[in-house]
Amino acid sequence: MPEPGDNTHYAEPDPRVTGAIRYAQDVELPDMLYACVVRSPYAHARVLRVDTSALPADVVALTPDDVRSLGLYGCQIKDQQVLAVERALYIGDPVAAVAAATPRAAREAAELIEVDYEELPAVFDAVEAIQPGAPLLHEDLAISDNDAAYFGMRPEPQRNVCHHFRIRHGDVEQGFAEAEVIVEGTYRTPSAQHVPMEPHACLAHWTPEGRLEVWTGTQTPFNLRMDLAGIFGLPQEHIRIIAPPMGGAFGAKTFVRYEAIVACLARKAGRPVKLVLRRDEEWLTLNRHPATIHVKLGAKRDGTLVAKQVTCWVNTGAYADCGPGVAQKMGFASPGPYRIPHVWVDSYCIYTNLPSNGAFRGYGATQAVWASERTMDLLAERLGLDPLELRLKNVLVDGDRYCTGEVMHDVHFADCLKAVAEQIGWQGGRRGKGLAVLLKGMQTPSRASIVVEANEDGSYTVHCATAEMGQGAWRAIRMLAAEQLGVPVERVHFPVPDTDIVPYDTRTTSSRSTYMMGRALVEAVRQLKENGELGYGECVNEGGLDPDTGQGIASTHWHQGAAAAEVRVDEETGKLEVVHLHTAIYAGRVVNPPAAQLQNEGSMIMGLGSALFEEITFSEGQVTNANLSDYNIPAADDLPRLTYELIERPGAEIHGLGETALPPVPAAIGNALFSLGIHVRDLPLTPERVLEASERRRAAPV
């Protein structure tokens, strides 16, 4: 037996190994039916008629007429209905659904539904979507009353802009007038798929008392409950969300996905209904935001940064989802972790006729860092300076003010940069080597609460809404509780989150859970020790930004890290090989080292995929690679030498690290390629793009 408080001993079997773990797709109820969704084949079309007359008598159908009177929903903008009632806004938009006795019967029934459409003009590019005359997707934009709408939103009427975030810091025109060297460029990041091993799955059931119960893989149980309550016109307490562990999520399993459709089918059928998506349907559910970012950067000849202007066009697809929040975080991450006296940012969240885009590991930072850090190397070349030295000259340190106006504390950007440079042998020659640094904000404001209960057998139970999606959050919280209670971790239990039982939590996103719940846990354990039975703790982090000026507190603390890469290129074929990839992440205090290391490795591998080959391709709005043959994710033989370090500091707070190592990876690889004279501005760095850039370099005048 381990000593009390010794949390390094893993005596209990891992349920993922034994097969004891149960995911949402494993949940079953007696007499349940299986759902299948009928989707629009058009990117933009009026739905004229839905004919279900050919369906067998034992099949339940859900049509626009069934949901027409239900409420609009949307976690930040109320722009979505349960089905496409009047117009379908993307290829794959749900227009009907069925429930049948078996999954096969449901699929066959879905094919029997006939839908008449009137095709309408569509727009797919975010920059084109805000030009005069572009097809308008939504005429009226109402800001949601969901807790996910935690900041001031600025939708633009009669325009495909659902949020416009600004930073106004200093006088950018004056800054560029003072600059002695100015560089600028436009950078693009494509849409990408989350590809969790477990697809979306949910089961809905209505009790005889009229309560809705939903079992679903979700990172946002309370946000989901809020939107479902609005849809059905019910008090939130009449809706129960049970959130089993997920087989991966990466941001995909946030807010309402198919829970509303399944709940409507269950109510009409009078029986439980379950839906598990096919793999190809994942591409029609939620993806990463494509972004086009223009950066203009000015400096003195000695490398001192004086001005930066950034414009982000963020493609949120047909429905806003959390796109306004992504655009805002992309906006305030795009200046980078630098002292710049004059900063001007405009970040637009824009509707197009593509599937919705939303939360994705890195949440806007990947797109921002790609543009910002590539521009820093462009500036270094123009000035004839070492890219590392240029960064070290300008990075934020303790006591500096960021362009949002907040004072920076516990800052380690320089430490991270020096660490990654050393590991790839930067001083031994920079050819084929590149690096990048990032700052990423944590969800601010937010609230986390937790209850610790003493059991009769001397064990303890932790009740909180933190979702488990493979990141090891439940284990980390149990370890923290065991440490404070002075017992082995095996004596601390963590049941599946259930909104009927657990106290409120903002959501399991933004690498915030261990930090926020850890702080709440201190108070809960203190109360438990006082009364012997039950303890409640709450952690609230205050803050927020003025959306018109970008001033305020963007993040309670900043996630900090850097990446460095060494690459080789075959200039005959354009094939890019990453030889060595290293990241250094400031972790403050690490709770569970093995899990932290695995999180870091996973982020690096996802970053490698974004850098080299992950890209959703479309033809007139139709996804053309919605399978794992044509959409490539990194396999074991794609991996370079991967090394990393988690920087800790005695007495430091816990810092979230589940996403931090992803965003700087593509930029570091892109800068390594640039050190060879090959300048590619669009991700991914495919052989075709590398070869084209190589040919441009060779054709350039000497």
For the stretch 105-122, pLDDT in tens is 999 999 999 999 999 999
Angle at alpha carbon of residue 34, lines to 30 and 40, rounded to 5°: 160
For the stretch 194-226, pLDDT in tens is 999 999 999 999 999 999 999 999 999 999 999
The domain in which residue 89 lies consists of 25-120+197-249+252-284
- Amino acid of residue 540: V
Domain end call among 486, 510, 541: 541
Are residues 503 and 621 located together in one domain of the fold?
A: no
| Residue 164 in domain | no
The predicted pLDDT at position 505 comes to 97
Domain end call among 541, 572, 598: 541
| CATH number of the CATH domain containing 498 | 3.30.365.10
| Residue 303 in domain | yes
Give me the half-sphere count of Cα atoms (radius 13 Å) on the Cβ side of residue 643.
Answer: 13
pLDDT of residue 7 exceeding 70, the answer is no
The predicted pLDDT at position 4 comes to 30
> CA separation (Å) from 180 to 176, 301, 380, 395, 539?
8, 6, 13, 20, 47
Instruction: Tell me the mean pLDDT in the region 41-56.
Output: 98
Are residues 477 and 623 located together in one domain of the fold?
A: no
User: Across the chain, what does the average pLDDT equal?
Assistant: 96
pLDDT of residue 334 exceeding 90, the answer is yes
Are residues 292 and 392 located together in one domain of the fold?
A: yes
Are residues 427 and 481 located together in one domain of the fold?
A: no
For the stretch 514-573, pLDDT in tens is 999 999 999 999 999 999 999 999 999 999 999 999 999 999 989 999 999 999 999 899
Strand pairing partners for 61? 98
> CA separation (Å) from 650 to 15, 143, 273, 522, 600?
33, 44, 51, 19, 21
Greatest Cα pair distance in the chain = 81
Please tell me the distance from the alpha carbon of residue 511 to that of residue 471, in angstroms, as a whole number.
10
The predicted pLDDT at position 599 comes to 95
Strand pairing partners for 395? 338
Q: Is 384 helix (H, G, I), strand (E, B) or coil?
A: coil
Instruction: Tell me the mean pLDDT in the region 463-491.
Output: 96
Give me the half-sphere count of Cα atoms (radius 13 Å) on the Cβ side of residue 503.
Answer: 18
| Residue 699 in domain | no
pLDDT of residue 260 exceeding 60, the answer is yes
Please tell me the distance from the alpha carbon of residue 123 to that of residue 130, in angstroms, as a whole number.
10
| CATH number of the CATH domain containing 74 | 3.90.1170.50
Are residues 404 and 502 located together in one domain of the fold?
A: no
The predicted pLDDT at position 19 comes to 85
The confidence band for 487, taking pLDDT boundaries of 50, 70 and 90, is very high
The predicted pLDDT at position 700 comes to 73
**Going by C-beta distance under 8 Å and a sequence separation of 6 or more, which residues neighbour residue 481?**
452, 460, 462, 492, 521, 525
pLDDT of residue 652 exceeding 70, the answer is yes
Are residues 384 and 516 located together in one domain of the fold?
A: no
The predicted pLDDT at position 2 comes to 30
Please tell me the distance from the alpha carbon of residue 110 to that of residue 261, in angstroms, as a whole number.
14
Please tell me the distance from the alpha carbon of residue 418 to that of residue 416, in angstroms, as a whole number.
6
| Residue 701 in domain | no
Are residues 465 and 324 located together in one domain of the fold?
A: no
Please tell me the distance from the alpha carbon of residue 111 to that of residue 38, in angstroms, as a whole number.
8
**Going by C-beta distance under 8 Å and a sequence separation of 6 or more, which residues neighbour residue 637?**
none
pLDDT of residue 8 exceeding 50, the answer is no
Helices (H), 163-321: 172-178, 221-232, 259-269
Are residues 91 and 224 located together in one domain of the fold?
A: yes
| Residue 145 in domain | no
The predicted pLDDT at position 9 comes to 38
Q: What total number of domains does the chain contain?
A: 3
For the stretch 171-192, pLDDT in tens is 999 999 999 999 999 999 999 9
Quote the percentage of the chain above a pLDDT of 90: 95
CB 295 within 8 A of CB 310: yes
**Going by C-beta distance under 8 Å and a sequence separation of 6 or more, which residues neighbour residue 518?**
476, 477, 480, 591, 654
Please tell me the distance from the alpha carbon of residue 162 to that of residue 351, in angstroms, as a whole number.
7
Q: What angle, rounded to 10 degrees, do the helices at 387-394 and 413-423 form?
A: 160
Are residues 558 and 472 located together in one domain of the fold?
A: no
Using alpha carbons, select from 473, 506, 545 the residue that is nearest to residue 254. Answer: 506
| Residue 6 in domain | no
| Peptide bond before residue 56 is cis, with ω within 30 degrees of 0 | no
Instruction: Tell me the mean pLDDT in the region 12-32.
Output: 89
pLDDT of residue 702 exceeding 60, the answer is no
> CA separation (Å) from 609 to 193, 483, 614?
11, 37, 5
Are residues 316 and 402 located together in one domain of the fold?
A: yes
Are residues 38 and 107 located together in one domain of the fold?
A: yes
For the stretch 338-396, pLDDT in tens is 999 999 999 999 999 999 999 999 999 999 999 999 999 999 999 999 999 999 999 99
547 phi, psi to nearest 5 deg: -70, -15
Domain end call among 511, 541, 571: 541
| Peptide bond before residue 190 is cis, with ω within 30 degrees of 0 | no
The predicted pLDDT at position 571 comes to 87
| Residue 529 in domain | yes
Are residues 583 and 690 located together in one domain of the fold?
A: yes
Using alpha carbons, select from 38, 37, 39, 40 the residue that is nearest to residue 117. Answer: 40
| Residue 662 in domain | yes
The predicted pLDDT at position 12 comes to 65
pLDDT of residue 1 exceeding 50, the answer is no
